[in-house]
Amino acid sequence: MLHKDNPDYRGDQNDPFGEDFFLLPSEEEIRARAEQILGDNRDYLRFYVEQAIWYAQDNPDLVKVMLSLLWLWEAIDPKWLAEASFMTVSDVRNLTESQPVMTFNCLDCGTELADKSRLQGIGMQHSLEDYCGDKTKNTPPVNLLCGPCHQQRKDNAEQQADLDRQRHQALLAEYRGRPYEDRRQWVCPVSTDSLPLGHSTSSQSNLFVL
């Protein structure tokens, strides 16, 4: 609780006619509050996780289902699951891997993306949701490609960049081979912009008249 001498004391902050007026708390104070809320919420979350697993103790199948589901909740520490179910973290991991709730396949070749950690699995699900939710994204997320397909895409991009460079150089070479008079009004074959070359002294023109 804040003391009334504290500038953040809520006493008159909502009274527009009061003598006090609301001051923004300092950055340190805001960070301390955020950490307090985060810590409290974690404690509550842990309490509910433990309760849920304890109540299910008489039904081992239900415990397994709950562990598999709770394993995918990023804010839940796997240690809480292990302690509440009297298992080790690796036991819980083995159990959840034996009955995975979600599976992921490479978007290029379809190979199953296996042997991923819990957080990598959660990250792949986020990427999948982002990718499917944003139709403007043309490139699939890297974490939804297998290693060879990712490498293949990188190689293709490099090859394409190389070809673009060569094409640009060939166009320039061809242009430079033309008589000077022809070069005075040159239509760029890439952008189809007409470049005013002539006797201009601008740096852009010099590039092409050299």
Using CB under 5 A, list all residues that contact Zn ion. Answer: 106, 108-109, 111, 146, 149
Least distance to Zn ion, CB of residue 146, Å: 3
Residues 142 and 150: beta-carbon distance below 8 Å: yes
| Torsion angles phi and psi, residue 183, rounded to 5 | -80, -10
| Torsion angles phi and psi, residue 35, rounded to 5 | -65, -35
Give whichever of 84 and 149 is closer to Zn ion, judged by the CB atom. Answer: 149
Residue linked to tokens 């490609």:
145
Least distance to Zn ion, CB of residue 104, Å: 11
Show contacts of 44-51: CB within 8 Å, 24+ apart: 45/75, 45/76, 46/76, 46/77, 46/80, 49/76, 49/80, 49/81, 49/84, 50/80, 50/83, 50/84
Least distance to Zn ion, CB of residue 106, Å: 3
Give whichever of 151 and 185 is closer to Zn ion, judged by the CB atom. Answer: 151
Give whichever of 64 and 153 is closer to Zn ion, judged by the CB atom. Answer: 153
Structure tokens at 58: 């008489």
Angle at 110 between CA 109 and CA 116, to 5 degrees: 110
Give whichever of 52 and 106 is closer to Zn ion, judged by the CB atom. Answer: 106
Give whichever of 149 and 195 is closer to Zn ion, judged by the CB atom. Answer: 149
Least distance to Zn ion, CB of residue 72, Å: 23
Q: Report the DSSP beta bridge partners of residue 195.
A: 186
Least distance to Zn ion, CB of residue 125, Å: 18
